[in-house]
Structure 1
Amino acid sequence: MIKHTASAIALAFVLTACGQNNQAPTAAEIEQPAVTAEQIAANSERINAWFDEKYEESLQFSPMGLTFLGRKDKYDEIDCFTIECMQEQLDWRVAATKEMEEMFDYDALSPADKISYDIWKYQTDQAVAGKEFVYNGYVFDQMNGPQGFMPTFMINFHRVDTAEDMQAYISRLKGIGRAMNQAIDIAKESASRGVHAPKFAYEGVIDQSQKVITGAPFTEGEDSAIYADAKGKIAALVETGEVSEEDGEAMLEDVETALLDDFKPAYENIIAFAEDDMANSPDPDSPVGANTQPNGEAYYNHLLSTQTTTDMTADQIHQIGLEEVERIHAEMESIKDQVGFEGSLQDFFKMLRDSKDDERFYYPNTDEGRQAYIDDATAVIDNIKVHLPEFFGILPKADLTVKRVEPFREQDGAAQHYYPGTPDGSRPGIYYAHLSDMTAMPKRELEVIAYHEGIPGHHMQISIAQELTGVPQFRTQAGFTAYVEGWALYSEWLAQEFPDTYQDPYSNFGRLGSEIWRAIRLVVDTGIHSKGWTEEEAVQYFLDNAAITETQARSEIQRYIVMPGQATSYKIGMMKIQKLRQKAEGELGDKFDIRAFHDTVLGGGALPLQVLERRVDQWIEEVKAS
């Protein structure tokens, strides 16, 4: 049928397990009666209502996902983590996509609705393709896993306004035990198939898990983070008169019971699994990439496809990385000369790394230094906020706060990160910083990271996407990594055009350091997972080519080892957005409007890169015709 063929053409770049027909349409297929504007409008109303209906159905699979959106549906439930539940969701998704293809004629849709159709199908195809690799990824590692996520979720996202909310909180504490054990079952099955996390990953899991269940009511001493959170939320209910002191005491007893009977045993099971399987961890002096796993080469190629939303090979990505490292080095040389440093670029890197007592380059490793970092990050974000209307027509409504990572999951030198707020703005976005070791947090990197994680980076893009009203709801929550991280890296570069940014040459060097960091990722990620590099080889390449500290370099490389392919998305996405801007500037000349370009990129939510290109091309043609 025409709609299948047309959809396949739009998504020909997607390599999926669904076996799409990528042949060009025949002349007979092209010669179809013209579709009227009235028909397109009617179809638009129908398909968007269908998308919203199906999106709501999909949300019901994830009570925790509903909470992230600020909703209190299924507020007393924790997601199911079994393979059977995952299969149920996939079956639903495949059936819904088949229904979409049968109900709607692709050629009778508007350009905007075709994009929604293509994104829905793309997401389904990628999910189907990923089924083959369900046991390849690590369930527990130092970066991810329920051991750190669950308490973070309960503390920061389960809001308690009523007695019912607190009862739901207690129910969730019990449910966490069940979910954790389901995750352990999958991890054990993966291990039985020859997939074992590195020793450093298990060490991180054990450390995080022990921190979560240290302190009252688990051990003697100060309250644990989760218990302190529950106590605080109950105390607030008592203070407002929502519950009596007697009821509050009863709630606290229920919290203690849930933590000791359900929550703690699950964490002990995680620790036991990690300690047991650590004996099977790969030799740290040998290759540790995804390609060493069963079916590992296909697994890594699948991850490159999903993370970059392209069909680029590992070799192509590796070569782009090498070329970008060389280009950025030349710009770094200019700044080295500007500040009057005599010596090689590698000598300059070493000076910056080793000058940890120089307050020009590092904050004091004290609580005052940590607060100064948060204050300064907030200040540079506030400066960007003032000038946003000069570069954007669409602006985010949600606020942003800068916070230190909670002690139970904080790691020296680990990457900063962002948690989105709610679509209605009731909870702000949070930019989290790891500040346990300030000697791993150079001042020159503060500004560029704030732009990446905050504004105009992640917070702005994700908040705008969540607040969109002109697209189906499912698109407001889409998270294509190459687009999301590509935009954040583009934002670091874009910030140069804002007043009062990167005024210190060392901060501008930090910007280049961040960009070369992402270029290096293309080299080391593909090196580790497709070329047999060891951890030490990857760490050394990082140190040879950037001013990064060894603590940062090792933390980053260990992150790439446990998250194959993810690190390649940043530079690939950034370069695509830059090329689209260059194309628009070249074709539109005086008609080019930076605000309209950015609104075009952000105004459709996160997109696969070739769909983004199609959207920008449509905008260019509209401007030309105006």
Structure 2
Amino acid sequence: MIDRRAFLLTSTAAGTAAMLPGWAQGQPEVPQSDISVQPNRVHRTSTTELRALFDRIFQQNLRLRPEGATQLGLDKAANADLRYRLSDQSEAGRAGAHKQTLDNVAALSLIDRRGLSPNDQIDYDTVLYTQNSAVAVQAFDFGGSSFGPSPYAVSQLTGAYQDVPDFLDTKHRIETREDADAYLSRLDAFAKQLDDNTDRMKHDAGIGVVPPDFLLDTTLTQLTRTRVPASDALVVTSIAKRAAAKGLGDDYGKQAAAIYDQKIGPALDRQIAYAKELRAHATHDAGVWKFKDGEAYYATALRTTTTAALSPDEVHKFGLDQAKEISARLDGLLRQQGFTRGTIGERMAALYKDPRQLYPNTDEGKAQAIAYCNARLDAIRGRLPTVFSRVPPYQFEVRRVPPQTEAGAASAFSQAPAIDGSRPGIVYFNLHDSAEWPKFCLATTIYHEGLPGHQLEGGLALSNTNLPLIRKTGGFSGYGEGWALYAEQLADEIGMYDDDPLGRLGYLKFQLFRANRCVVDTGIHHLRWGREQAIQYFVDQDGEAPGFATREVERYCATPGQAASYKLGHSTFTGIREKAKAKQGNRFDIKAFHDAVLAHGRVPLEILQQIGDRWVTTLS
């Protein structure tokens, strides 16, 4: 999974919320067709002029989302002031973001697409798609951002209370006094973000948008763990340790503690108090169908995150069909390993309990699991040149999710490197309970999140000199997650499981899991499944550990639609490849296929399909 905090500056999530300050006000009846690409025909535009417009939009996004500038290593020179700021998540900030999106659409609409070169048309279509997607989601006057549209400004996955401490600790570098001063300035802004988030919770509750009781329970657990004495707070200990290590003395830690005691702590107390107030009256209904405009919201969220034009019913059936095919393959491999009795889910559950596959649920055991993951990442690096003509120049590594956010964090996710290479790409594993990550499940996740998955695809985009910056740093869940799932398949094809048959079972198990995500996500938000029904479905069908299944289901409750993007994207990539193989037979060149689908960076699946179809027509 792509990290929500690293879902970069022009992604669909960015256009809607992740890199702009949340949803802005509007009317929910914006038609679904508004997120499609609309050709415009006013001015002929050169590549230079188009790139200049893209750069203006990109720079405006940086100004709106200073966290993104730091994430990318672009908070320097003319943007150095952004190191002192966080995004404005107030109602005024949201309104400003909404206005900018509308202005961007208007500016893009002045361009005559027909006069652009083929490559410029792809860039133009992609950027316009992003902005129109933002308009569609901003039409719903509630919610926040996570991996994509979220109906909840604060939840177990959304909110400044969890984003900012990790951001300041791992993204905001401290080398000089200026860096430390900027950190303190951002601590002040953190307190304001917390209160802005609480105000948004109140606004949303006023129109009936309240998280279900179980999400509020986890949210309160995490808020309470965050609300500790200043001496234990990550935002204080981080600057105290790092400033001292750079010879800047202990005054910065004292100033941070004062800001925490005077501003951040009270803001957290207010948010906790209001979350408890909401919890007292929250319902147990899991899906967004319970809200006014919930059906329309889900259709928009599904389209926005997957970038595929399928209805909830079509996605549900797609997931069922894919799961049936993958289950048949799993059945054969399980029988080869001696697992012959019971359903697929029962047999996978038995494998999960094999003590030989489990790391101890201790800090030492978790360190062993991370070491194994880094070894798998190293092992596949040498095989990449056999199937890729280009690999990214960045460094990559595996780390553990910080313990304070394990309860609600995703099971695994990927954070992109800084564009200048000053920070490596990072794969995070949630080791809240190491039994949820038996050894046979780790390798395929490394290939998904690391190489040749997110880190390779994202690294190639960042280092692609043919792409404008707004495209290098953009992302779409359908494309990114679809590629990462294809990368798991590719790892099997290049022999990473030849000496690890249980690892191959893990790979197919996660393919099944992604197919069932389509079933469960649409089940929750469209077919009105309950939380417990959705959890049990994963346990029965996949053999998931109950804790793992619970966190996944609750994630889908907070981020409707995104979970369906994986398998839909995977099928788009494999569909293009199969067309090429059918046409070329033994002459098929996998490097050429990878060049074709990666050359234009991240694009919506609809545009990827067009790129792939055109490439196939050029094959002899």
What is the TM-score of this pair, normalised by structure 2? 0.89
Structure 2 residue 72 is the aligned partner of structure 1 residue 69 = yes
Structure 2 residue 165 is the aligned partner of structure 1 residue 158 = no
* Equivalent position SS for 2:403: coil
Equivalent residue in structure 1 for 2:53, among 35, 50, 53: 50
Q: Among the aligned pairs, what percent are the same residue? A: 32
Structure whose alpha-carbon radius of gyration is higher:
1
Task: Choose 207-216 or 380-389, whichever is displaced more.
Answer: 207-216
Deviations 1:13-41 (A, max 9, x none): x944479879xx9xxx9xxxxxxxxx99x
* Distance apart, 1:620 and its partner CA: 3.0
Deviations 1:42-75 (A, max 9, x none): 8122212322233223221111111111122211
1:16–1:126 Cα contact (<8 Å) kept: no
* Equivalent position SS for 1:569: helix
* Distance apart, 1:97 and its partner CA: 2.8
Structure 2 residue 256 is the aligned partner of structure 1 residue 255 = yes
Does 1 or 2 have the higher relative contact order (CA < 8 Å, sep 6+)? 2
* Equivalent position SS for 1:139: coil
Equivalent residue in structure 2 for 1:81, among 61, 81, 89: 89
- Residue 216 of structure 2: aligned partner: 202
Structure 2 residue runs without a partner (length 5+)? 1-30, 144-150
Deviations 1:107-164 (A, max 9, x none): 1111110111111211121111112223151111112221111100000000011101
1:314-393 aligned at under 5 Å gives the runs 314-345=312-343, 346-355=345-354, 358-359=355-356, 361-393=357-389
- Residue 279 of structure 1: aligned partner: 280
One-letter code aligned to 2:246: L
Structure 2 residue 109 is the aligned partner of structure 1 residue 113 = no
Equivalent residue in structure 2 for 1:225, among 225, 231, 234: 234
Task: Choose 199-208 or 178-187, whichever is displaced more.
Answer: 199-208
* Distance apart, 1:503 and its partner CA: 2.9
2:64–2:97 Cα contact (<8 Å) kept: yes
Cα RMSD for the two superposed structures: 2.1
Structure 1 pair 170–413 and aligned structure 2 pair: CA distance change class (3 A):
closer
Equivalent residue in structure 1 for 2:109, among 101, 113, 121: 101
Q: Distance between the aligned counterparts of 1:417 and 1:149, measured in 2?
A: 14
2:580–2:619 Cα contact (<8 Å) kept: no
Q: Distance between the aligned counterparts of 1:413 and 1:67, measured in 2?
A: 22
Q: Distance between the aligned counterparts of 2:48 and 2:570, measured in 1?
A: 34
Structure 1: which 4+ aligned runs deviate by more than 4 Å?
18-22
Q: Distance between the aligned counterparts of 1:131 and 1:467, measured in 2?
A: 31
Structure 1 pair 354–383 and aligned structure 2 pair: CA distance change class (3 A):
closer
One-letter code aligned to 2:133: Q
* Equivalent position SS for 1:183: helix
Q: Distance between the aligned counterparts of 2:280 and 2:436, measured in 1?
A: 30
One-letter code aligned to 1:351: A
Q: Distance between the aligned counterparts of 1:64 and 1:118, measured in 2?
A: 26
Structure 1 pair 499–19 and aligned structure 2 pair: CA distance change class (3 A):
closer
Task: Choose 146-155 or 332-341, whichever is displaced more.
Answer: 332-341
- Residue 34 of structure 1: aligned partner: none
2:222–2:408 Cα contact (<8 Å) kept: no
One-letter code aligned to 2:98: L
Q: Distance between the aligned counterparts of 2:36 and 2:336, measured in 1?
A: 56
Deviations 1:508-532 (A, max 9, x none): 1111110111111111111110111
One-letter code aligned to 1:425: G
1:319–1:523 Cα contact (<8 Å) kept: yes
Deviations 1:220-240 (A, max 9, x none): xxx3322221111111221xx
Equivalent residue in structure 2 for 1:436, among 432, 437, 441: 432
- Residue 528 of structure 1: aligned partner: 524
* Equivalent position SS for 2:398: strand
Task: Choose 55-64 or 318-327, whichever is displaced more.
Answer: 55-64
Structure 1 pair 180–423 and aligned structure 2 pair: CA distance change class (3 A):
same
Structure 2 residue 160 is the aligned partner of structure 1 residue 146 = yes
Structure 1 pair 69–19 and aligned structure 2 pair: CA distance change class (3 A):
closer
- Residue 186 of structure 2: aligned partner: 172
* Distance apart, 1:623 and its partner CA: 4.2
Structure 1 pair 57–562 and aligned structure 2 pair: CA distance change class (3 A):
closer
Structure 1 pair 86–447 and aligned structure 2 pair: CA distance change class (3 A):
same
Deviations 1:195-215 (A, max 9, x none): 111222222222222222324
* Equivalent position SS for 1:408: helix
* Distance apart, 1:502 and its partner CA: 5.6
Structure 1 pair 596–490 and aligned structure 2 pair: CA distance change class (3 A):
same
Structure 2 residue 296 is the aligned partner of structure 1 residue 298 = yes
* Equivalent position SS for 1:430: strand
Q: Distance between the aligned counterparts of 1:45 and 1:324, measured in 2?
A: 44
Deviations 1:509-560 (A, max 9, x none): 1111101111111111111101111111111111111121111111111111
Q: Distance between the aligned counterparts of 2:277 and 2:320, measured in 1?
A: 39
Structure 1 pair 342–117 and aligned structure 2 pair: CA distance change class (3 A):
closer
* Distance apart, 1:414 and its partner CA: 4.6
- Residue 8 of structure 2: aligned partner: none
- Residue 234 of structure 1: aligned partner: 243
Q: Distance between the aligned counterparts of 2:288 and 2:103, measured in 1?
A: 31
Q: Distance between the aligned counterparts of 2:501 and 2:214, measured in 1?
A: 36
Structure 1 pair 521–347 and aligned structure 2 pair: CA distance change class (3 A):
closer
2:396–2:450 Cα contact (<8 Å) kept: yes
Structure 1 pair 449–623 and aligned structure 2 pair: CA distance change class (3 A):
same
Q: Distance between the aligned counterparts of 1:412 and 1:58, measured in 2?
A: 28
Q: Distance between the aligned counterparts of 2:129 and 2:157, measured in 1?
A: 27
Deviations 1:396-452 (A, max 9, x none): 111111111112112389511111111111101111111131112121110111111
Q: Distance between the aligned counterparts of 1:503 and 1:108, measured in 2?
A: 54
1:410–1:434 Cα contact (<8 Å) kept: yes
1:402-441 aligned at under 5 Å gives the runs 402-411=398-407, 414-441=410-437
Q: Distance between the aligned counterparts of 2:183 and 2:494, measured in 1?
A: 44
Structure 2 residue 558 is the aligned partner of structure 1 residue 562 = yes
Q: Distance between the aligned counterparts of 1:52 and 1:224, measured in 2?
A: 38
- Residue 91 of structure 1: aligned partner: 99
2:305–2:562 Cα contact (<8 Å) kept: yes
2:315–2:518 Cα contact (<8 Å) kept: yes
Task: Choose 46-55 or 190-199, whichever is displaced more.
Answer: 46-55
Q: Distance between the aligned counterparts of 1:189 and 1:608, measured in 2?
A: 32
Q: Distance between the aligned counterparts of 2:502 and 2:183, measured in 1?
A: 47
Structure 1 residue runs without a partner (length 5+)? 1-13, 30-38, 218-222
Q: Distance between the aligned counterparts of 1:605 and 1:551, measured in 2?
A: 35
